[in-house]
Structure 1
């Protein structure tokens, strides 16, 4: 007998909840904000609205289904199952934060605050939840975009995937030292000193990756979200007698990998801004970056 589908509702703490956790009471949080020219009323109203949306989404889960909730900070400790349908209630960035922990489960993005979010990944509203869940678990499957992801694999088998981009460098973004090249041309690898390397997807081309692309005055064309092509940039490469700047940008397709060998005491690789969940790399270690076999199945 197969298990009933499980709806996993992913959310994050609101600004109001963070204020209460820091200051203890509503009154103390109100005083803190007022001393900085802000009103707690708007913050509290957004909190209550977000909680109502989350409750509406939970109520739309079919009765025969199982359901659970997971907060953003607990994602790295949560075990997703193959029968899960993941419902992300929040902002676009929360979908990216969740994607790295999935292995092909369908994802429904619910915009908790329409008008404040771009809605690129949280494409739906709370009243759509029931219909989307039934479609995701139906016999004919569901219509979903297969969004390309990027992966980093270290020589000690550590692996990291991300929906937008992977940053590799020093934890504080200070100068990183490493040797960079491609697997297709290992003899052309170059020793570099920079503030890190960024490898991103078409989904990430609306954020950090795009800012670098514009800063460089264009460069390789940005990929589409479902296109199996990545763009990479070296940030602020520093020329010296021992380091070069000839390899500072490029593209990677399915069969291509960027190869980086660490020549610093400690570098990290993290995805989509989640620095708390990073690969730890040290002297002599090699990490390869490229298109991941895993895609994000985002319902349209």
Structure 2
């Protein structure tokens, strides 16, 4: 007998809840915000919209389904199952934070604050949840397959991200490494503040910022394109390090190979620094298009 589908609601602690946790009471939180020229009313209204959206989505889950909830801070400790339908209630960034822990489960993005969020990934309102949940378990539900990026270390550590992966120092120092295409043995020695490898979904954020700053002529990928762009940040020229390999594209099975020549290099995806790979001197990491895609329901 097969298991009933499980709806997993992913949400994030609101600013209002964080303020109450820090200051104890609404009055103290209100005083704190007022001292910085802000009103608690707008913060409380956003909190109310978010909690109401979570409640509305929970009420739309079919009665025969199982349910689970997970907060953003607990994603790295939550085990998603193959039969899950993942409902992300919040901002676009929460979809990216969740995507790295999924393996092809259907995803529904619910916008809690229309007009404030871009709505690129949270495309639906709470009222759409019931229809989308029912369609998610039908054969071949309509979905966009969004390309993801992965980094795989030589010790089998693996990291997947929806927007981009950062490879570089844990702080703001310079890190040294050798970089080049995986098929090319003549890698270049570099010193920089890190490398960004991004997708078409990430081309609206950090990747686009680097693309604009460089005046790059490389075409930005679309979210479903099986193509990535990569940029080296602030490569430093010296007698021992070069800058000739500072940007490029990766498609299909192509991989960018980075070999660490510093005490420590980290790799993290979509801003989740708390869930990073740690690499030491002599280790190699390869970045490229992931076999896993984000199935975002239309």
2:71 is aligned with 1:71: yes
2:114 is aligned with 1:132: no
Q: Which residue pairs with 1:33 in the alignment? A: 33
For 1:294 and 1:195, how far apart are their aligned partners in 2?
A: 28
Q: For structure 2, list consecutive stretches of 5 or more residues without a partner in the other structure.
A: none
Could you report, residue by residue, the CA deviation over 1:87-119 in whole angstroms, capped at 9, with x for unpaired residues?
A: 000000000000000000000000010000000
Where do 1:150-165 residues align within 5 Å?
150-165=149-164
Q: For structure 1, list consecutive stretches of 5 or more residues without a partner in the other structure.
A: none
Q: Which residue pairs with 2:110 in the alignment? A: 110
For 1:47 and 1:84, how far apart are their aligned partners in 2?
A: 27
Tell me how far 1:141 sits from its aligned partner.
Answer: 2.9
For 2:50 and 2:218, how far apart are their aligned partners in 1?
A: 39
Q: Which residue pairs with 1:169 in the alignment? A: 168
SS in 1 for 2:69: strand
For 2:46 and 2:171, how far apart are their aligned partners in 1?
A: 32
Q: Which residue pairs with 1:291 in the alignment? A: 289
**Do 1:148 and 1:291's aligned partners in 2 also have CA atoms closer than 8 Å?**
yes
Tell me how far 1:218 sits from its aligned partner.
Answer: 2.4
SS in 1 for 2:295: strand
Match of 1:257 among 236, 255, 270: 255
2:236 is aligned with 1:238: yes
For 2:276 and 2:217, how far apart are their aligned partners in 1?
A: 29
Match of 1:191 among 186, 189, 192: 189
**Do 1:173 and 1:196's aligned partners in 2 also have CA atoms closer than 8 Å?**
no
Q: Which residue pairs with 1:212 in the alignment? A: 210
Kindly report structure 1 stretches of 4+ aligned residues shifted beyond 4 Å: none
SS in 1 for 2:152: strand
For 1:255 and 1:102, how far apart are their aligned partners in 2?
A: 21
SS in 1 for 2:249: strand
SS in 2 for 1:297: strand
The TM-score normalised by the length of structure 1 is: 0.98
Tell me how far 1:199 sits from its aligned partner.
Answer: 0.1
Aligned residue pair count: 298
For 2:185 and 2:22, how far apart are their aligned partners in 1?
A: 51
* Greater displacement, 45-54 / 82-91: 45-54
Tell me how far 1:219 sits from its aligned partner.
Answer: 2.5
For 1:15 and 1:91, how far apart are their aligned partners in 2?
A: 13
For 1:211 and 1:102, how far apart are their aligned partners in 2?
A: 27
